[in-house]
């Protein structure tokens, strides 16, 4: 049994989405300041690094992150790879999705506004497949600049959770046991999480 960390670092000054402020760390106590211990203060957008989006992010009166049962954050996951920057229903049909949790390894991008994203019909396909959680390496499932956020709306409306900002470049496609635990913040539309895969080898991949 092997544990694979698929979370992104939360790093000072790093901006995870072009229109959101960067992560800030303040040192309230630090050895360099002559203190005998360290205490830090972290401030960051909720949608930075690896995080889960809860339905209330786009659905008024939808569940907030603390209201979602823990069972939604774990289960057998299928890691798939997509080469396209624009992922549509046709792309998804070729992937033979059969698990309720699907994690997408994506094409690398340099320009922070040019990350891979889903088209509306891809979101509709995932709803039809009765997926319960969709994970992506991109900072958003929607195209940068699309103010209507159609993919977020379709998935969250169907109570499909979204995890953005995963790190999957070191992971082979296949089936794993997936687990992520978002912070228990009250009434918020999402939360940062630590996400891992447990490689059960042939038990899941025959
Ligand atoms: Zn988000």
- The answer, yes or no, to whether residue 162 has pLDDT greater than 80, is yes
Q: How far is the CA of 162 from the centre of ligand 1 (A)?
A: 7
CATH fit for domain 2-8+46-203, picks 3.40.50.1980, 1.10.10.350, 3.50.30.50, 3.90.1150.10: 3.50.30.50
Residue 163, pLDDT score:
98
Distance 190 CA to ligand 1 centre (A): 7
Give me ligand 1 centre to Cα 200, in Å: 29
Query: Looking only at Cα atoms, what is the longest distance across the chain?
Result: 60
The β-bridge partners of 191 are 52
CA of residue 168 to ligand 1 center, whole Å: 17
In angstroms, what is the span from residue 163 Cα to ligand 1's centroid?
7
Query: How many CB atoms are closer than 10 A to CB 20?
Result: 14
The SS3 call for residue 70 is: helix
Ligand 1 centroid – CA 142 distance (Å): 10
Residue 165 exposed, middle or buried by CB count within 10 Å (0-12, 13-18, 19+)? buried
pLDDT of residue 203: 83
User: Is a pLDDT exceeding 90 seen at residue 206?
Assistant: no
Q: Is the pLDDT confidence value at 201 over 90?
A: no
The predicted-structure confidence for 45-79, as pLDDT tens digits, reads as follows 999 999 999 999 999 999 999 999 999 999 999 99
Tell me: pLDDT of 146 over 80: yes
Q: Which residue has the higher pLDDT, 203 or 134?
A: 134
- List beta partners, residue 43: 24
Residue ranges covered by each domain of the chain:
2-8+46-203
Q: How far is the CA of 201 from the centre of ligand 1 (A)?
A: 31
Half-sphere exposure of 178 (CA within 13 A, CB side): 29
Mean pLDDT of the chain: 97
Distance 164 CA to ligand 1 centre (A): 6
In the reported structure, the alpha carbon of residue 47 is separated from the centroid of ligand 1 by a whole-number distance in angstroms of: 4
pTM: 0.95
CA 139 to ligand 1 centroid distance, Å: 7
pLDDT in tens, 11-53: 999 999 999 999 999 999 999 999 999 999 999 999 999 999 9
- Give residue 1's pLDDT: 83
CA angle 15, 170, 194 (to 5 degrees): 55
Is the pLDDT at 202 greater than 90, yes or no?
A: no
Tell me the CA–centroid distance for residue 150 and ligand 1, in Å: 13
């Amino acid at each position: 049994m092997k544990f694979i960390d698929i979370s992104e670092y939360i790093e000072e000054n790093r901006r995870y989405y072009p229109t959101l402020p960067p992560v800030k760390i303040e040192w309230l106590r630090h050895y360099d300041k002559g203190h005998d211990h360290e205490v830090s203060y972290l401030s960051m957008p909720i949608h930075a690094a690896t995080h889960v989006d809860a339905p209330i992010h786009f659905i008024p009166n939808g569940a907030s992150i603390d209201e979602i049962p823990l069972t939604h954050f774990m289960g057998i996951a299928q890691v798939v790879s997509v080469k396209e920057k624009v992922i549509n229903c046709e792309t998804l049909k070729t992937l033979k999705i059969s698990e309720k949790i699907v994690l997408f390894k994506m094409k690398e991008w340099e320009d922070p506004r040019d990350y891979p994203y889903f088209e509306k019909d891809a979101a509709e396909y995932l709803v039809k497949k009765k997926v319960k959680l969709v994970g992506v390496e991109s900072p958003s499932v929607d195209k940068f600049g699309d103010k209507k956020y159609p993919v977020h709306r379709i998935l969250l409306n169907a109570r499909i959770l979204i995890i953005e900002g995963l790190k999957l470049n070191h992971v082979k496609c296949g089936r794993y046991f997936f687990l992520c635990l978002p912070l228990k913040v009250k009434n918020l539309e999402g939360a940062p999480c630590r996400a891992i895969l447990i490689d059960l080898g042939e038990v899941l991949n025959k």
